[in-house]
Amino acid sequence: MNHQPKTAMNDPALQLAVSSVLQLGAQKTMFSCKAARTADCKWSFGFAVIKNESIMSEYRFHLQKYRPGSKTVCPKCGRKSCFTRYVDGNAQITFPNHVGKCDHINSCGYHYTPKKYFQDNPTIKEPMIKKNNRSATPSRAVKPIAKPLSSSAPQTSYLPSDWVSQSMQKFDVNPLYRYLTKVAGKEKTDRLFNLYKVGTSKMWNGATVFWQIDINGNVRAGKIMGYDAKTGHRIKHPFNQVSWVHSVKKIPDFHMKQCLFGEHLLADASSSTRTVAIVESEKTALVAAQFIPDFIWLATGGMHGCFNSKAMQVLRGREVILFPDLKATEEWRRKVPMLQSVCKRATCSDLLEKMATDEQRSQGLDIADFLLMEDTPQMILQKMIERNPALQTLIDTFDLELMDAMQE
């Protein structure tokens, strides 16, 4: 008669025994249950403890029991009071706040388990039960040794993608949008804002939100910046109007890992052969994209921002030209070797250096400043309307459009 060995997965008595082993840790424990009296059953029970790590995880690592205030903001969907963290039943390992499960299984589905955490951070993986298949006695659980939490970089946090779409409304209250409509017109500015996924914040009377969306469509961050609608310059007085969406939303333990502004444009297969131009400022990328549309214009978001080897991997196989601000030319030139190891071709343009005066160098102008030095037809029309507001009424009444004199 064939005897089917019993395991902790299909025998309630053995499940109870497994639970006892894990709770008592390294204590020597003998089990006496009807299902485990034979040597075969003992061996099967021991095999189950050794082989199935999920059994151990099921009892030792578990979702935190609910109590008022225990549920927090989900690191993926951003909704409040819906995220339950994992805890260690032995109180020896404290998991980061992103190890847990969201209640919104269908709409969000975020579930980052301890097992996955240990896989991503092998240096802090707890000691598992030693394998001893040949032993006829039950294997004993080894008490895990407490280790310091990972020194490696934490998992990248993301923001809900619907926050992006929600912010792409009410452009008319956005000072930067209003400025760019004077430069390029409403239709072209709308196209730019939609192409680059630029949003509007409730802060600072409609400040601009520059969403950082990576090549896979993940929303890495949202930088909020205030602009002057008349000059198009950033507002830095009486204080520097700059913040981050995750800070404003007070998302706990948000691990921001920036990517290039406009990086999501690289996912378009039809643009794979287009040259990538990199600038420092997000606004500069928008302006340059309007005047020189042959390039894919991306921005690092600052002097340092995400200008590092890891973030530049998305440019592999691309032809890249750097257009630094005048004050940053030498520093950006030193970045070229790093890019050459990744890109098909990488150069640093010295066009501005050749054109600039000493005064312009001292001001640290960028390519957008040079592009905007000459009034565009839209800027000329706007000045005419400011002198004679009745002209706008005439344009609206007869649905007039500004034509490019260079077009036939």
**pLDDT tens digits, one per residue of 288-317:** 999 889 999 999 998 767 888 899 999 999
Q: CA-CA distance, 263 to 163, in Å (whole number)?
A: 18
Q: Is residue 79 part of a domain?
A: yes
219 and 358 fall within a common domain: yes
Q: Are 124 and 183 in the same domain?
A: no
Separation of alpha carbons 252 and 143, rounded Å: 31
| Pair (340, 290) in one structural domain | yes
Is residue 136 situated within a structural domain? no
In DSSP terms, 209 is beta-bridged to 199, 224
Question: At a CB cut-off of 8 Å and minimum separation 6, what does 165 contact?
Answer: none
Q: Is residue 113 part of a domain?
A: yes
Does residue 331 sit in the same domain as residue 183? Answer: yes
Distance CA 168, CA 209 (A): 9
How confident is the prediction along the chain (408 residues), in pLDDT tens digits per residue? Answer: 555 544 444 555 445 444 443 444 434 333 333 444 443 433 333 333 333 433 344 468 888 888 887 888 877 777 778 889 888 888 878 888 788 888 877 667 788 888 877 776 665 554 443 333 444 444 444 344 334 444 455 788 999 999 999 999 889 999 999 999 988 889 999 999 999 999 999 999 999 999 999 999 999 999 999 999 999 999 998 888 999 999 999 998 899 999 999 999 999 988 888 999 999 999 999 999 998 899 999 999 987 678 888 999 999 999 999 999 888 888 999 999 999 999 999 999 988 888 888 888 888 888 888 888 765 566 555 656 666 777 667 667 767 666 655 444
Task: Specify whether 73 is located in the same domain as 13.
Answer: no
Residue 140 lies in a domain: no
Angle 293-298-299 from CA coordinates, rounded to 5°: 135
Quick one: 77 and 40 in the same domain?
no
Whole-angstrom Cα distance, residue 281 to residue 191? 19
Contact predicate 249/301, CB 8 Å? no
Looking at the fold, whether 126 and 222 belong to one and the same domain comes out as: no
Provide φ and ψ at 386, rounded to 5°: -65, -35
Same domain, 46 and 96: no
- My answer on whether 119 and 187 are in the same domain is no
Asked if 194 and 315 sit in the same domain, the reply is yes
Task: Tell me the residue length of the chain.
Answer: 408
Asked if the structure places residue 142 within a domain, the reply is no
pTM, two decimals, is 0.58
313 and 363 assigned to the same domain: yes
Residue 275 domain-assigned?
yes
Domain that holds residue 313: 161-395
First-residue to last-residue Cα distance in the chain: 95
CA atoms of 93 and 220, how far apart (whole Å):
28
Give the sign of the dihedral formed by CA 125, CA 126, CA 127, CA 131.
negative
Q: Please check whether residue 378 lies inside any domain of the structure.
A: yes
Task: Domain count for the chain, please give it.
Answer: 3
Please check whether residues 90 and 210 belong to one and the same domain. no
Contact 75, 98 (CB under 8 A): yes
Task: With respect to residue 76, please indicate whether it lies within any of the assigned structural domains.
Answer: yes
Distances (CA, A) of 240 to 201, 243, 401: 16, 9, 38
Instruction: Give dist(CA 283, CA 210) in Å, integer.
Output: 9
